Structure 1
Amino acid sequence: MPSAPPVPQTPPWDVHRLPRAEGRAFLVTGGNAGIGYFVAEQLAGTGATVVLGSRDGAKAGAAIASIVSRVPGADVRHVPLDLADHASLGASVDALGLDRLDAVVHNAGVALDHPPRRETRDGHELMFATNHLGHFALTHHLAPLLAATPGSRIVTTGSFAAKSERLDPDDLQSTHDYRPKRAYARSKLAQMLFALELDRRLRAVGSTTLSVLVHPGGALDSLTPSRPPFHVRTTGTRLSRLPLRLVVQGKDSAAWPAVRAVLDPGVRGGRMLAPRAFGLRGAPRTEPLWNHLTDTPTAARLWAASCDLTSTDPTFSSGTGARRRRGTAR
């Protein structure tokens, strides 16, 4: 009896040797600074088209200039994107000028350190509105582009801060007993629950789009390489912070889980990628889901509440992609 052909082996993932991605298009929210900048820079190095979603055109322009200076010939663009203004997100997606999208990295976020509690003009708590609801609504508007692209990916960036928090479905917007750090952690936990609930819904309809969860671990500016003008690290700062590399890392390394989630053909939906060493630093790997991330009833309640608060419902089907393609002449 003839033997079965050998199963192809996927080579180990190498953060320094990324696969080529010419002809593909990626959107990175908050790609003008911090971890998002390094996600965009690394993806640009693969030959893909990378779009920075950012409120600030000047900062996005500086980020694009920095990327192009390090990646000659990089195709990097900017689209105005304000995740706190949910009514504007449809126009932002139209401004992409694309008829397909291979991946979106939900990276942008806002963190407030001190009271008072702040609200958007729609009356939503600012961190919850930006970090979770904004990405939820953006996914709704991107669904036709993603559905039109077989194997597309929605990569959602969580946070280690969410590991010790629990969501209160009856007070999602921290109306009672507002504490900024807790409200931030809960907004990131909401993002993470959204990513996993989205995966369940994608699988239920047989979509080829993947929803992948990542968290960057511990990332410090002082360990991050300089990218003037928006980040400059002095030699003295670098040397004084070197011992911290045993525990945490720079934002360039913190970008690795998201970049792998976008590019690695072996990545599966509903998984979480995180730094290898205690979830804080190192090369990205698949990490078991934290126990409270498997709370499907809370995730379902969060989804329903998010639909009500944003008047959107991220739905994927073969028909949505076909409608957008017919209606786009570019």
Structure 2
Amino acid sequence: MYQLPDAADHVYLVTGGNTGIGYFTAEQLAGTGATVVLGSRRAERAEAAMNAIRARVPGARVRSAALDLADLGSLRRTTESLGVKRLDAVVHNAGVLLGGPEPRQTRDGNEMHFGTNHLGHFALTHWLLPLLEAAPSARVVTVGSFAAKSERIDLDDLQSRVGYRAKRTYSRSKLAQMYFGLELDRRLRAAGSTVSSVVVHPGGALDSLTPSRPPIHVRKTGAALRGAAAALVLQGKHAGARPAVRAVLDPRIAGGELWGPRIFGLRGRPRRERLWAQLKDAETARRLWQASTELTGVAPAATA
């Protein structure tokens, strides 16, 4: 079992740190003594999450920052509001999964899943890079999804205008994030940057297998019983957070790697995985990067 190190002098930002896997990522990172910033769209939810972390981690150093990934124009202000001289890691965890048959748009007119999950994190990285480069060896950790493994990027329809289906569009947006994390690392290496980029996924993480953290999450007895059989192949969100936590903390993990759960990619301790077949396609990653630059008006670039 990997032992969490002492990271008392480090600062980490977790997007979507107020709920789900993001919450457990923040809780586990807080246990290292680091300062953990929860990026959250709603202040009251961030406050509830911070209180829950403090109840579990005595002396936890947690605070929040207003973050709306669906509003590209706000992300520079979010970075400025952090009030830190350096950032040792950012965990790109936040994401939306919408229901309903009709697509919705971000403030900037992009399809909501692609615009929030991918473009928002793409643009946020641009603004965060100076803070990341001020740290000795910072990490960008991008949280993808196991559901993306069976998907492919349609470079001619990134906004899912043809045959929109919410779950498929979500999975493609997470795949786009994973392409971004790998392409970012290639560009950081080419620039000689000290920042590295790692891609992770949580496997199969269910609420019914997740321990209670009131009021963030309360597991009911009935749900726990119904999820008992699923525990043979899946896990809770507290376990789903472990690949991201490991990627932040373990200096032996190299940029450009993919990490996920050990058992069939669905549950268990984190391990390095072989890159999925589609993620080896550097040309698709390059073209997606170019399209993302055009859609956001920014291009994350190392200054080293």
SS at 2:62 equivalent: strand
1:299 to 285, 288, 296: 285
SS at 2:64 equivalent: strand
Task: State the alpha-carbon separation in 2 of the partners of residues 181 and 195 from structure 1.
Answer: 21
- Displacement of 1:113: 2.4
Matched, 1:178 2:164: yes
Matched, 1:21 2:21: no
Q: Percent identity between the aligned chains?
A: 64
- Displacement of 1:114: 1.9
Rg larger in 1 or in 2?
1
User: What letter corresponds to residue 292 of structure 2 in structure 1?
Assistant: S
Task: State the alpha-carbon separation in 2 of the partners of residues 233 and 121 from structure 1.
Answer: 34
The answer for the alignment partner of 1:215 in structure 2 is: 201
Matched, 1:226 2:212: yes
- Displacement of 1:317: 1.5
- Displacement of 1:239: 2.9
SS at 2:69 equivalent: coil
The answer for the alignment partner of 2:294 in structure 1 is: 308
Contact 2:52–2:216 under 8 Å retained in 1: no
Task: State the alpha-carbon separation in 1 of the partners of residues 109 and 71 from structure 2.
Answer: 11
User: What letter corresponds to residue 66 of structure 2 in structure 1?
Assistant: P
1:77 to 63, 76, 92: 63
User: What letter corresponds to residue 96 of structure 1 in structure 2?
Assistant: L
The answer for the alignment partner of 1:37 in structure 2 is: 23
- Displacement of 1:237: 2.5
Structure 2 length-normalised TM: 0.99
Task: State the alpha-carbon separation in 1 of the partners of residues 176 and 165 from structure 2.
Answer: 16
- Displacement of 1:241: 1.8
The answer for the alignment partner of 1:46 in structure 2 is: 32
- Displacement of 1:315: 0.6
Task: State the alpha-carbon separation in 2 of the partners of residues 265 and 121 from structure 1.
Answer: 38
Contact 2:91–2:143 under 8 Å retained in 1: yes
Matched, 1:123 2:109: yes
Matched, 1:317 2:297: no
1:173-212 pair list within 5 angstroms: 173-212=159-198
TM-superposition CA deviations, 1:253-289 (whole Å, max 9, x none): 0000000000011100000010000000000000000
TM-superposition CA deviations, 1:186-205 (whole Å, max 9, x none): 10110000001001101101
Contact 2:87–2:132 under 8 Å retained in 1: yes
- Displacement of 1:243: 1.9
TM-superposition CA deviations, 1:33-54 (whole Å, max 9, x none): 0000000000000000000000
Q: Could you list the runs of 5+ residues in structure 1 that have no partner in the other structure? A: 1-13, 319-330
Matched, 1:88 2:74: yes
User: What letter corresponds to residue 128 of structure 2 in structure 1?
Assistant: L
1:99-114 pair list within 5 angstroms: 99-114=85-100
Contact 2:17–2:23 under 8 Å retained in 1: yes
The answer for the alignment partner of 2:262 in structure 1 is: 276
TM-superposition CA deviations, 1:196-228 (whole Å, max 9, x none): 100110110111111000000000000000011
Q: Could you list the runs of 5+ residues in structure 2 that have no partner in the other structure? A: none
How many matched pairs? 304
Tell me how large the CA RMSD over aligned residues is: 0.8
Task: State the alpha-carbon separation in 1 of the partners of residues 161 and 221 from structure 2.
Answer: 44
SS at 2:141 equivalent: strand
- Displacement of 1:182: 1.1
TM-superposition CA deviations, 1:96-136 (whole Å, max 9, x none): 00010000000000011222111112110000000000000
Structure 1 length-normalised TM: 0.91
TM-superposition CA deviations, 1:125-152 (whole Å, max 9, x none): 0000000000000000001001111210
The answer for the alignment partner of 2:230 in structure 1 is: 244
SS at 2:227 equivalent: helix
Task: State the alpha-carbon separation in 2 of the partners of residues 298 and 113 from structure 1.
Answer: 28
2:148 to 162, 181, 189: 162
Task: State the alpha-carbon separation in 2 of the partners of residues 112 and 189 from structure 1.
Answer: 17
SS at 1:285 equivalent: strand
The answer for the alignment partner of 1:7 in structure 2 is: none
